Amino acid sequence: MKDKIKNVKSLEELQKMYSDTFGKNGTMTAKLKNMAGLSNEERSIINAENAELRQLFKEKQNELEMVALNAKLATEYVDVTLDVEPQNRGTFHPLTQSLKEIGSVLESLGFTMWVGPEIEDDWHNFTALNTPEYHPARDMQDSFFLENGNVMRTQTSSIQIRAMEKVGVPIKMFGVGRTYRKEWDATHAPMFGQIEGLYIDKNVTITDLVATMRALLSKFFERDIQLRIRPSYFPFTEPSIEMDMKWGDRWLEICGAGMVHPNVLKNCNINPNEYQGFAFGFGWDRMAMLKYNLNDIRPIYDGDIRWLKNNGF
Ligand code: PHE
């Protein structure tokens, strides 16, 4: 028996021999079962044999496992010369990437991110923003109205109203989201992204607005940005301005902005004699297009991986 164990060549064979010996109908099991009528001397012989065999099996098993492991180590190895770059690594979409970058600059300036509903009611999209019922900015040509009188949010300014209603002043926030207007060409899509900032407190001036925009744009575009200010009109700001940014040898219109109109503050139960502040808004996709040199807004929403790859994503 002992020699037989020593000469076993495989783990399977050893396993079989083990169960023939110690299994339910094994030879050793039978011996141990029938010890009742035996003398002490005979019993201790059987017990010793039992212990010795178990020990031998164990040693043989260790030995065979070691042989198997060594064989495996000899044939399986890591080829450190293989290319470790996966073929198809996921990346962030340019819109996601630009939001992460713009958001982190605004957060570093103390603004908190808010979102709001894309289907808006009249109050938040227009009325509270000092855009009464017959105001031309509500033009049917531009807005997608729903049958119940709600509207697909035309601007993220609605988020600012919701934020002021909810937490009051002082407030320093930015709203982010998709907005909807009836337009469709290389630089205008019927659904586009907007980001709007709002800062209301007791001593906020238009200088803070210009400084904030310059800091935001310089950080985002990673260069010193020169700004130009033009007077403009929005129902919800007074004075209203538009800002252009020097881009190469051209001036590009980059955002609408202004000091929040006293009527807007009143609509949100804020006393305009005590509090004032600025708001600004820009097309978030346009920012991404400029930064990443994309010249058509439409493929941004197609999700075509070939287009993304061709553009470095
Ligand atoms: N909501 C304006 C737009 O959609 C942009 C804007 C935001 C202007 C805040 C002034 C202040 O064009």
Q: Which of 302, 309, 287 is nearest to 95 (CA)?
A: 287
pLDDT digits (tens, 9 = 90+) for 37-88: 899 999 999 999 999 999 999 999 999 999 999 999 988 888 888 887 777 7
pLDDT digits (tens, 9 = 90+) for 131-142: 988 888 787 668
* For helices 206-221 and 284-291, angle between their N-to-C axes, nearest 10 degrees: 40
pLDDT digits (tens, 9 = 90+) for 8-45: 999 999 999 999 999 999 999 999 999 888 999 999 99
| Cα–Cα–Cα angle for 255, 261, 263, rounded to 5 degrees | 145
User: In angstroms, what CA-CA distances link 150 with 17, 120, 194, 221?
Assistant: 82, 6, 19, 37
Report the atom number in ligand 1 closest to the C-alpha of 198.
Answer: 9
pLDDT digits (tens, 9 = 90+) for 215-264: 999 999 999 999 999 999 999 999 999 999 999 999 999 999 999 999 99
What residue ranges line ligand 1, CB within 6 angstroms? 155, 157, 196, 234, 237, 256-258, 279-281
pLDDT digits (tens, 9 = 90+) for 286-304: 999 999 988 888 888 888 8
Ligand 1 centroid to Cα of residue 282, in Å, is 7
Identify the three-state secondary structure at position 141. coil
Q: Give residue 211's pLDDT band: very low, low, confident or very high (50, 70, 90).
A: very high
User: In angstroms, what CA-CA distances link 200 with 234, 239, 270, 290?
Assistant: 18, 15, 10, 29
Question: What's the rounded Cα separation, in Å, for the pair 142 and 58?
Answer: 84
User: What's phi and psi for 29, nearest 5 deg?
Assistant: -60, -45
Ligand 1 centroid to Cα of residue 273, in Å, is 23
Q: Give residue 2's pLDDT band: very low, low, confident or very high (50, 70, 90).
A: confident
Q: How many CB atoms lie within 10 A of CB 275?
A: 20
